[in-house]
Structure 1
Amino acid sequence: MARAPLPAGAGTPAAVPVPAAADPAAPAGLPDPIAPAEGLSPLVLRYLEHVRVEKRLAARTVDLYTHDLARLTALAAQVPIDLLQVQPAHVRRWVAQMHGQGRSGRGIALILSGWRGFYTWLGREGRVPSNPVVGVRAPRSGKPLPKALSVDDAVGLADFESSEDDPWLDTRDAALVELLYGCGLRVGEVVGLDVVASPAARGWLDLDAGEAHVLGKGSKRRSVPVGSAALAALRAWLAVRGDTPGQAALFTGRHGTRLTAQSIWQRLRRRSLQAGLATPVHPHMLRHSFASHVLQSSGDLRAVQELLGHANITTTQVYTRLDFQHLAKAYDAAHPRAQRKKNP
């Protein structure tokens, strides 16, 4: 791809190739496959050193900033214009361009955040009179609904009996599914569960009381009832788990170490595919399914809020949209005035 020349001046960057179009399927906020290290101006490199050393941002964050500023450099090169001369009109044009290429509103918002921080720093350095990114907003994108399983799929996954010749793994994974779906726990809360309560425990089970005590977001503790199916699966797991000296974790791997969130994601995905589900299941999908199914059955939004550990009920209200979709489908299928007439 040809590189457009830039006028000489302080902060003038060399051009960086820009991909022809962003990948709409790429996760929001992830960089495009460009080479950010090529052609960055000394001013940009100074800023990246500033956020890395003085602000002590994580390496992943610095990497994302690098990609964002490489994108800014490339877009300025296409005008061409010096980075120190960028105006709000340029930024708005670039936002429209990225949106037209299929980038999500959330992804654009993350990119603008990186640009905004760069020009804020330039302003403190006395290099620009104003921040051209201030006041420029990303396009709004509809908030996606949580992905929840149908009742049949969720129950089918919970009842699934693996054909693997490893009863130890199968019993553990069955208990994981029952706990995630039966209690609506976050995967981090499940990882933190111990077999019994102790001063060092982040969470623990009380099988006699039928409760799980967990440490949720914001270090807030809550107690969640554990249903009979989950209790039976947990007792079966504890019977084969065995005792590992010094290891209090409820869910462990083969070597006796506490199971990680990544391991739970992998095992759940594998189990859902073995069960024949069309969509690979992840832990938070079971939490969404728990909330949606309880709300469909009870209609008690406050109870669902307490069970999920949401600080604000507006967070829980998203499940009313799922519940409405369920009712709308039932109406379309059952009501005689909802059914479309067949063409003669």
Structure 2
Amino acid sequence: MDARLAADDPEWLRDYLGWLASQRRAAPLTLENYRRDLLALQRLAGTTAVDALAAHDIRRFVARLHGEGLGGRSIARRLSAWRGLFAWLVRHRGMALNPALGIRPPRSPRRLPKALSPDQAQGLLDGGDGEGVLQLRDRAMFELLYSSGLRLAELAALDVGGDVDAAQGLVTVLGKRGKKRIVPVGTAALQALADWLAVRGEVAAADEAALFVSRQGGRLSGGAIRARLARWAREAGVGVHVHPHMLRHSFASHVLQSSGDLRAVQELLGHASIQSTQVYTHLDYQHLARVYDAAHPRARKS
């Protein structure tokens, strides 16, 4: 359905969507999203004309939407659509003020990063049949992602030789804002890297510096790494979609669960602020509850 041609829509809505289509070149899906959000505004306004709404009306609408269970992000999107409409009404239809300016949506709870369980992580890394060149490369990449908590861009940017110190068990990466950090590499990842380096020359171009290369011999892109990991996870039967950042989250949550050292995890991840790392303290309440029930003398049921 063309959002501009809905005959039962109010005239102001059809005119505004038509303006978005002709002047802003809005796509059909964008127009339909605007239409839905603006019809919600009309529903909330009831018998009050949209161009007669005031700031206190918009605040009341936001509170009502929140009370109906709409999340902060969805309310923020609706407010954005409403602000755009009111700006158009001010400019083209003589409305005095934009009543949605300065009104903020309620805060949304911070989304927790998804992490694999230790068993899922082990199943993922133990999977992947075959000892072909590309399988050895992929195993080395995924072991390193989980072993050292690297970002995808950091992994893709690694060069052969200087970035990985196998003797010391360390990898040097260039993180966000050009910040260098050195993180440990586990035994399994070091072995997987050694296996890959033994065959890397079979596919790498002679002058290629990248540690991980494609079948064509050049540096492997982040998109290719992401696709290979998703395929590896499917073949390993993990049961969830796995992406590179999930391995970073899994690394952080598993190290924190074992050590309880938030500052150390912050350094390993390269977070500038401890607040970015604190999210991992909320990842496994069920695990904490099981530990509490098993260990605390007053928690046990009689």
TM-score, scaled to structure 1: 0.70
Paired residue secondary structure (2:17): coil
For 2:253, the equivalent position in structure 1 comes to 292
What code does the residue aligned with 1:6 have?
Answer: P
Q: Give me the CA root mean square deviation.
A: 3.6
* TM-superposed deviation, 1:134: 2.7
Distance 2:60 2:75 in 1: 11
Asked if 2 retains the 8 angstrom alpha-carbon contact of 1:14 and 1:41, the reply is: yes
Q: Could you say which residue in structure 1 is the equivalent of 2:133?
A: 168
Partner of residue 26, structure 1: none
How far off its partner does 1:276 sit? 2.8
Pair 45,94 (structure 1): closer, same or farther in 2 beyond 3 Å: farther
Q: Residue 309 of structure 1 aligns with which residue?
A: 270
3-state SS of paired residue (1:194): coil
Does the 8 Å CA contact 2:143/2:188 hold for their aligned counterparts? yes
Q: Does 1:145 align with 2:112?
A: yes
Give the TM-score normalised by structure 2: 0.79
Q: Tell whether 2:151 aligns with 1:192.
A: no
Give the Å deviation of 1:287. 0.8
Task: Quote the Cα distance in structure 1 between the aligned partners of 2:164 and 2:88.
Answer: 50
1:184–1:308 Cα contact (<8 Å) kept: yes
Distance 1:207 1:111, change over 3 A: farther
Conserved in 1, the CA contact under 8 Å of 2:58 and 2:100?
no
Q: Is the 8 A contact 1:6 1:82 kept in 2?
A: no
Partners of 1:68 and 1:111 within 8 A in 2:
no
Q: Unmatched 5+ residue regions in structure 2?
A: none
On the 8 A contact 1:168/1:240 being kept in 2, the answer is yes
Q: Which residue identity does 1:169 align to in structure 2?
A: L
Q: Which amino acid aligns with 1:312?
A: S
Q: Which has the higher contact order (CA 8 A, sep 6+)?
A: 2
Distance in 2 of aligned mates of 1:317 and 1:65: 36
Q: Which runs of 5+ in 1 are unaligned?
A: 16-38, 53-61, 198-203
**1:183 corresponds to which residue?**
148
1:118-163 Cα shifts (integer Å, max 9, x gaps): 65677688954333223433344332322222222223322x1423
Distance of 1:129 and 1:298 partners within structure 2: 60
Could you tell me which residue of structure 1 aligns to residue 242 of structure 2?
281
Deviation at 1:247, TM superposition (A): 2.5
SS at match of 1:259: coil
Q: Are the counterparts in 1 of residues 171 and 183 from structure 2 also a CA contact under 8 Å?
A: yes
Q: Distance in 2 between matches of 1:283 and 1:250?
A: 17
* Structure with more helix by fraction: 2
Q: Count the aligned residue pairs.
A: 293
In the alignment, the residues of structure 2 paired with residue 84 and residue 328 of structure 1 have an alpha-carbon distance, to the nearest angstrom, of 53
Is the Cα–Cα contact under 8 Å of residues 75 and 94 in structure 1 kept in the other structure?
no
Q: Are the aligned partners of 1:181 and 1:287 in contact in 2 as well (CA < 8 Å)?
A: yes
- 1:171 and 1:233 in contact (8 A); partners too: yes
Deviation at 1:305, TM superposition (A): 0.6
Q: Structure 2 matches for 1:98-177, cutoff 5 A? A: 100=68, 103-113=70-80, 115-116=82-83, 119=86, 127-158=94-125, 160-164=126-130, 167-177=132-142
**Residue 325 (structure 1) shift:** 4.4
Alignment partners' CA distance in 2, 1:274 and 1:248: 30
SS in 2 for 1:249: coil
User: Are 2:66 and 2:72, in contact at CA under 8 Å, matched by a contact in 1?
Assistant: no
- Which string of whole-angstrom CA distances, capped at 9 and with x for unpartnered residues, describes residues 24-68 of structure 1? xxxxxxxxxxxxxxx7142x457736xx9xxxxxxxxx8986555
Give the letter for the 1:261 counterpart.
G
Structure 2 CA distance, aligned partners of 1:316 and 1:273? 29
Which one-letter code corresponds to 2:279 in the other structure? Answer: V
Sequence identity (%): 47
Aligned to 2:17: 40
Aligned equivalents of 1:148 and 1:108: distance in 2?
28
